[in-house]
Structure 1
Amino acid sequence: MIRVAIIGYGNLGRGVERALKQNADMELAGVFSRREPATVQTDGASAYPLAELEDYKEKLDVCILCGGSATDLPIQTPAITKNFNTIDSFDTHAKIPEHFANVDRVAKEHQTVSIISTGWDPGLFSLNRLYAQSILPEGETYTFWGKGVSQGHSDALRRIVGVADAIQYTIPNNDVIEKLKAGEKMNLTTRDKHLRECFVVLAEGADEEAIRQEIVTMPNYFDEYDTTVHFISAEALKRDHQAMPHGGTVLRTGTTHEKTKQVIEYNLQLESNPEFTASVLVAYARACARLAKEKRYGAFTVLDIAPSYLSPIDDATLRRELL
């Protein structure tokens, strides 16, 4: 059995706990949180103080880190990798090389394994971009996200004075996707690829039109997109917008001999972003444990891991049943 610890217990941590129950070769050793353990309401797992994690060094095979990329993982992943094999979902794309270097240095020095930036983007989408451009070297790759909840954009809405609560959906332009799949050449702007739809609860006395204008002109979030704003009640937001769906498409359009058109498409439609991301983390935790057993120390990404390392099924059976 692969003994797993969950570090942090928000939406992603809860998803990991549920995903582990679907993997018979893994067992959850416990949840480690900065919160008081008595206040951590799990689905049955024991909760412990994060400060006591090192006391369990001989009792854990992999730690799955479920903190945020902005402030948690840049510090936690290198620190915890000093004593444990780790998995994280660090998703600040521009900072992945720096994060990798920091974790790789620690992992090699302390003879541990860490697989970083695991999930679906970065993660599975990264793999599909690599496969597609390697197979069709003459072509273009496009990534579309949604329809789904953008937590960062939703937070930006909630920070506006006069907004009591809000949620934002990123919506891909399906007309553009279909034209690309048909082989049409397009020079796409940010506005062409995605739409943004906002559902906003106003604070008492707030100016609806002023807030609408502040949203659609907000730099780095909405000003480059066609953005629709709906003002709704707090009850409607709670009733209709509590789920966390997401997904997207990786599309590679290219040509082979004599300009023969070829299209590669990979698509995800997720009712729960955190639960799906958690399932990816758990599969890569299995790979992490195997790499550690082979003493292949250091940091890795999904681009480095052989697909068979994700499966609990032996290699001979995989060759017989899946090839």
Structure 2
Amino acid sequence: MKKLNVGKKTIIFLVFTMLAIILAGCSEATSANKGILVKVGTTLSPSNPVNVALKEVFEPEIEKRTNGRYNVEIYDSGQLGGEKQLYDFTRSGIVEMTAIGTVMWSEVPMMATPDFPFVFKDVAHARRVYQGEVGEYIAKNFEEQEPIKFLAWNPNGARVFSSSYPIKSPEDLKGQKLRMPNNPIHVKLAESLGANVVIMDLGEVFTALEQGVVDGQDNPMSTFRQEGWFEVQDYIYETNHMVSSNELMMSKEFWDTLSEEDQKIFQEVALETSNRTWDIYENSIEDDRKFLEEQGIAVETPSDEERQQLIDAVQPVYEMLYEKYDWAEDMINRIRSVE
């Protein structure tokens, strides 16, 4: 067994090394013809607002404003690896840029903030928080710990609950088998609402829902639509309990090679890209809801009273956060104080 484990580790190392060599060679070849290659890796589909904005704004504007000194290439759908790999590739300088979720929360605890439940009033409030002083505060904390330049916050969707059974109130979540990601905050959230947690990878969810291994799950409506779960689920409880984020980041090693003028250009275009991403996402929410309702999905939105019931029920999550992070209570107060 030990020999097998060593063999697996060796294979992983070799794959990582080969990919690094290929990407480096790609950079050199492209640089000679079209300017310095800037690879931007994501795991998201081409239709995701993040990738749409990268294609519509970031790629053309960087190339235009730098007079072709940089050639931006977007690698979507995990072409360069999963989120954790992209994060590691970016901080090691193998990949110049990435747009990923908060996979780094275990290394940089404050990056777990987007997973705090019921801290945002709505998506518009979340945008003001991420793009305002609180977002800058978290980004600064991140940059102090990691060799990465934090460029902009993007939306990764407002999470809702779906189920094969009606959910018309917080009480209806009790006893349901809910798939949750392998994240202690998400797990504690579901448990606090009385659900039975089943942890599994996203790629396994459709089959698990279809076969009744789980009754439901939580994800943004956009993901629910893109993954086709409307074929095997009937009900959505639009709690928007978390408004997850996606971060546009650059290798500090690459950032330091840029002139001050080019750094300013990259920062400005990153913020313009972020604005375009938020606009696309906010405009897509109603379209996703309409599409799902046309597929026969019953979408129930909690009343103000029910939302407060949900907030009260997840107090154990806050207690866990306060015990684990000495900055958590202050962070929640900062977020809730944003108008």
Q: TM-score, normalised by structure 2?
A: 0.30
> Which structure shows the bigger proportion of residues in helix conformation?
2
Radius of gyration: which is bigger?
Answer: 1
TM-score (norm 1): 0.31
Please state which structure has a larger fraction of its residues in strand.
Answer: 1
